[in-house]
Chains A and B, each alone.
Chain A
Amino acid sequence: KQEVTQIPAALSVPEGENLVLNCSFTDSAIYNLQWFRQDPGKGLTSLLLIQSSQREQTSGRLNASLDKSSGRSTLYIAASQPGDSATYLCAVYNQGGKLIFGQGTELSVKP
């Protein structure tokens, strides 16, 4: 059974700092991996989708990497801003197309 773990559960950083969020999964036979952002009480906003054949994806200040063999992904946020404060969710697609989520990392960026 696929399990997705995100570390840390919560993170507080000062504005301008670069940071890394970690995600690990137990079964390396994944289809794709996706990072989402969720603001309090809101739905999910897709940030980056990494296909299983890719090693990384970039969008603006965000960079996500994928190492299937070790069962790990990282989300790198450069020059963090207070507006980045949210919960970040990592999720993996199994071969059947179902998405399995981690519990999220709650990020707070202090001005």
Chain B
Amino acid sequence: DTGVSQDPRHKITKRGQNVTFRCDPISEHNRLYWYRQTLGQGPEFLTYFQNEAQLEKSRLLSDRFSAERPKGSFSTLEIQRTEQGDSAMYLCASSEWTSGSGELFFGEGSRLTVL
């Protein structure tokens, strides 16, 4: 296993379209996190899963955003009716919380540009 992978790496879309990002975590990790990073800012927490359960959602995650981790493996983050303010880097991370150190390992991110 080579680490956390995210797809696509870059997405350009028009305002109002729906987009979906996928994250494949490190295989033995039971936690998966989504963060959003805008230009010049540090990453901001969006949501996280432990196995298939979504345990916390940030206020940043409006009703246009939905995240799933259906079988406790990969996760998807969907943004409906995109707005220009959604333009950002979406980062995924995974960790082993139960028996490991809990250290988060990040993917390379998916950059969204909304025109």
Give residues in A with beta carbon < 8 Å to B: 4, 6, 31-32, 34, 41-44, 46, 49, 51, 89, 91, 93, 97-104
Contact = CB atoms under 8 A, between A and B. Distances in A.
Given A97-B31, A100-B45, A103-B41, A42 B103 contact: no
Contacts of B42: 4, 6, 89, 91, 101-104
B45 A98 contact: yes
A44 B37 CA distance: 11
A98 B33 contact: yes
A42 B104 CA distance: 17
Contact of A99 (B45, B101, B111): B45
Contacts of A41: 111
Contacts, number: 54
A46 B3 CA distance: 13
Q: Which of B91, B105, B106 has the largest count of A CB atoms less than 10 A from its CB?
A: B106
Interface string B81-108: 0000000000101010100011111111
Q: Is the interface of A mostly helix, strand, loop or mixed?
A: strand
B48 interface: yes
Q: Which of A42, A43, A46, A103 has the largest count of B CB atoms less than 10 A from its CB?
A: A43
A43 B106 contact: yes
Interface in B32-58: 33, 35, 40-45, 48, 56
B102 A93 contact: yes
A79 to B, nearest CB: 27
Given A41-B111, A43-B106, A43-B109, A97 B95 contact: yes
Question: 4 closest A-B pairs (Cβ-Cβ)?
Answer: A101-B42, A43-B108, A44-B106, A97-B102
A98 B48 contact: yes
B111 to A, nearest CB: 7
B91 A44 contact: yes
A93 B97 CA distance: 12
